[in-house]
Structure 1
Amino acid sequence: MPAFRNLSAIGRALLPALPAPSPAETWRAPLGACVGLTLCALCVLAMQAAHGGLWFLVAPLGASAVLLFAVPNSPLAQPWSAVVGNTVSAVVAVAVLQVVPPPFDFGIAVGGAIAAMMITRSLHPPGGAVALLAVIEAETVREIGILFALVPVGATTTLLVLSAIVYNRLTGRVYPFRQPHSQPGAERRLGLSSEELGAILGRFNQASNVGVADLARLLAAAEHEAAAHRFDQTRCADLMTKDLITVSAETPLTRAVWLFQKHAIKSLPVVGADGALLGILLQGDLIEALTLGRPVRRSPNARRLRRPLRDLLAEDAMQDAATTVTEDTPVGALLNRLASQAVQVVPVMRGPKVVGIITRSDIIGLLLRGSAERKAA
């Protein structure tokens, strides 16, 4: 039985590692490669007619097309990797051909190309094929000289990259992929900086396979799913405080003080005559308004003139309720808002009307309740 299990494990290891592609992707990527290489071929034909035989297509462009159109999010497929990787590989191969005799030139050219790509942070697998092709076609490459790295390799790779940028964006793929600093939302959610994410990739030797931005997106999605499982799909309607104590915009702050004291609450929804939510009055803002003796509402139209305390109203100290949820919103979706966006209270809405509120204390209570249940189990 152990031997059978070992054979079974070996068999599974030989099966496809990639997931099945979506139906749309099975035509999107091949069509893109077809379009990109056709444009390169047309350009080469035009340049041959104008300038002679220096222009021609190199076979490794086919491998570049696979990366640029099928896996455009890969660090190996980004413009710098493709253009610089192919070009420096060609430069190394031309140099090797000048000093290394066959058959040693094959291995040294490819090995040198890999080293050059790693040093220039432009690792691009087709670059190794460019170096090998240069050695195979040694006579032609020696005749062209160092120009081989620029024309045809660099120029045709650049044209292929430009076509990939246009095609991928037209078909809904982001290419070139966004750099980490343009995704602050993912970092705030994870609580990890780009440097920390990069260190994780380096620790597991995955920096060449997964980009920092990709890792941030994957971890954020995993965190969201984990939160949903942790709270057992609890909805906001299941956790919210339903018997709300509300005030109007014209409620005096002295009345709000009395409500805070009587009911031991920390926030008061401010609603209109039709029940629509206008804002949230927090204890801290109320105390600040009463201490300063003037409105503290964060609004460019708010009147900031000092007035008697009895004249200060709820609208003078309330905050706009920028963050709201519906009754069906999963509680797990609130973690980021409460933890990293300095939100203390989240109103729960039914259309324009507020039907409940959820506070940080409610979330903490749910966490503790789940912890006790898991410990008992």
Structure 2
Amino acid sequence: MPILRSFGPSVARTSPVEAVRAGLGAVIGLGVAGLFLLSPGIDLTTGLYLVAPFGASSVLLFAVPNSPLAQPWSAFVGNTVAALIGVAVCLLVPDPLLRIALAVGLAIVAMILCRAVHPPAGAVAMTAAMSPDAIAHLGFWFALAPVALGTAALILIAMIYARLTGRRYPFRQFEESNRHGTHDPEPVERLGLSKAELTEILERYRQSFNLGVEDLARLIGAAEVQAAAHHTGPLTAADVMSRNLITVGPEATLTEVAALFKRHKFISLPVTGADGRFLGVIFQIHLINQARDDALRLNRTFGAALRRLVDRERERPVLAKDIMSVVSPRATTATPMAVLLQMMANDDVDAVPVVEYGKIVGIVTRTDLIAVLARRVSRNG
């Protein structure tokens, strides 16, 4: 029954790895914040009470870092403003029940006006209102330490931890440069909608507290790509892939690799073992990155580093296995074209190897996909 299903989980299933990542981040963040919470000069009881709201902040910062409620401004300003209001109410209102209710209510009003809604801040205000003895001793310094300093420590740890674990915090801004360093939106986010229009959509559906403008653009773009893929029909990788492959072995020198790139005008070269087993793939950008790294390391010009990279006479030549990528996306012959479109639209991927039982049987490039889509458009036009 629909009414019964509404009491079930509404959050999408998450992998155990992601759950452990978020939990470990909270352990580290709270461990560092604890240095401020229980530092000398801060009442032990008040410090322990603050573990509760800081624990709630950790859930947002480490488990749902893309939420607008978890961003640095919301967390820092929300907690600090709530602490200031909690202290003021605690000093002015003697009745405990009225004091607690008023502190939380005023904190909510202030957070909304400051555009800094952070749910754990309500518990910060309540903690101050519940601790008249500690507040009488600390006064408004309570908002600085432990609240502001503790929150700043949590935010800093969340930023570092997100970078170390391949996540993004704070979330990307709508006008931020893309991965190539230019100001064009990512391909899947080129919607023809302005930031103001996307913001208006969020406000119209009252989702401003749940989703950022950048996330909305990314989701709309992904949905459009997925919907477009439905019109490709039942095509699979086997229908569009290139089968007559040029491959290199792991011991091939970069001189050989560069010569193959030049001769065949490829953008990628699969690397295979003696038995035909797929080992990895080399993209032209790998040669450029290797030359750039050598230029920086050896304090040479890029041209000199590139010539040295493919020099047949160098003492130890760079081999294909030294620069090939082993983690790039791959497909099987049965992979739908819709999935291939997603791989090349969302990631910095120019070609996807098609592998069966460990051996490469084909490769799908962006050129292959464009050719198929062009034929579909001409037929439908």
Task: Summarize the Cα distance change of 1:331–1:67 in structure 2 as closer, same or farther, 3 Å threshold.
Answer: closer
Q: Which residue of 2 aligns with 1:72?
A: 65
Q: Which residue of 1 aligns with 2:152?
A: 158
1:91 and 2:84 are equivalent in the alignment? yes
| 3-state SS of 1:180 partner | coil
Partners of 1:22 and 1:360 in 2: how far apart? Answer: 34
Aligned CA-pair RMSD: 3.7
Confirm or deny: 8 A CA contact 1:36 1:65 kept in the other structure. yes
Larger CA Rg, structure 1 vs 2: 1
The equivalences for 1:182-221 within 5 A come to 182=176, 184-185=185-186, 189-221=190-222
Q: Which residue of 2 aligns with 1:231?
A: 232
Confirm or deny: 8 A CA contact 2:237 2:337 kept in the other structure. yes
Confirm or deny: 8 A CA contact 1:236 1:358 kept in the other structure. no
Partners of 2:339 and 2:124 in 1: how far apart? Answer: 50
The equivalences for 1:318-329 within 5 A come to none
Normalised TM-score (structure 1): 0.61
1:141 and 2:135 are equivalent in the alignment? yes
Q: AA paired with 2:128?
A: A
Confirm or deny: 8 A CA contact 2:73 2:116 kept in the other structure. yes
Match of 2:378 among 343, 365, 369: 365
Q: AA paired with 1:105?
A: R
Match of 2:126 among 108, 124, 132: 132
Partners of 1:356 and 1:130 in 2: how far apart? Answer: 54
| 3-state SS of 1:208 partner | coil
Does 359-368 or 211-220 show the bigger shift? 359-368
Q: Which residue of 2 aligns with 1:373?
A: none
Q: AA paired with 2:145?
A: V
Structure 2: gaps (5+ residues): 179-184, 241-261, 268-334, 345-362
The equivalences for 1:17-28 within 5 A come to 17-28=10-21
Listed one character per residue, the Cα deviations across residues 288-347 of structure 1 (whole Å, up to 9, x for unaligned) are xxxxxxxxxxxxxxxxxxxxxxxxxxxxxxxxxxxxxxxx99599889x9xxxxxxxxxx
The equivalences for 1:336-347 within 5 A come to none
Partners of 1:118 and 1:355 in 2: how far apart? Answer: 51
How far residue 95 of structure 1 moved from its aligned partner, in angstroms, is 2.0
Task: Summarize the Cα distance change of 1:157–1:235 in structure 2 as closer, same or farther, 3 Å threshold.
Answer: same
How far residue 218 of structure 1 moved from its aligned partner, in angstroms, is 1.2
Confirm or deny: 8 A CA contact 2:75 2:116 kept in the other structure. yes
Confirm or deny: 8 A CA contact 2:89 2:102 kept in the other structure. yes
Listed one character per residue, the Cα deviations across residues 84-136 of structure 1 (whole Å, up to 9, x for unaligned) are 11000111112222333422222221111111111111110000111111111
Q: Which residue of 1 aligns with 2:103?
A: 109
Structure 1: gaps (5+ residues): 1-7, 240-272, 279-327, 338-349, 369-377
Task: Summarize the Cα distance change of 1:98–1:357 in structure 2 as closer, same or farther, 3 Å threshold.
Answer: closer
| 3-state SS of 1:128 partner | helix
Partners of 2:369 and 2:72 in 1: how far apart? Answer: 50
Match of 1:171 among 146, 153, 165: 165
How far residue 38 of structure 1 moved from its aligned partner, in angstroms, is 1.1
Normalised TM-score (structure 2): 0.61
Q: Which residue of 1 aligns with 2:47?
A: 56
How far residue 140 of structure 1 moved from its aligned partner, in angstroms, is 1.6
Q: AA paired with 1:74?
A: S
Partners of 1:237 and 1:19 in 2: how far apart? Answer: 32
Q: Which residue of 2 aligns with 1:222?
A: 223
Partners of 1:359 and 1:186 in 2: how far apart? Answer: 19
Task: Summarize the Cα distance change of 1:195–1:18 in structure 2 as closer, same or farther, 3 Å threshold.
Answer: same
Aligned length: 268
Partners of 2:339 and 2:197 in 1: how far apart? Answer: 24
Task: Summarize the Cα distance change of 1:212–1:52 in structure 2 as closer, same or farther, 3 Å threshold.
Answer: closer
Partners of 1:92 and 1:176 in 2: how far apart? Answer: 26
Task: Summarize the Cα distance change of 1:361–1:187 in structure 2 as closer, same or farther, 3 Å threshold.
Answer: closer
Partners of 1:142 and 1:179 in 2: how far apart? Answer: 42
Q: AA paired with 1:139?
A: D
Task: Summarize the Cα distance change of 1:201–1:238 in structure 2 as closer, same or farther, 3 Å threshold.
Answer: same
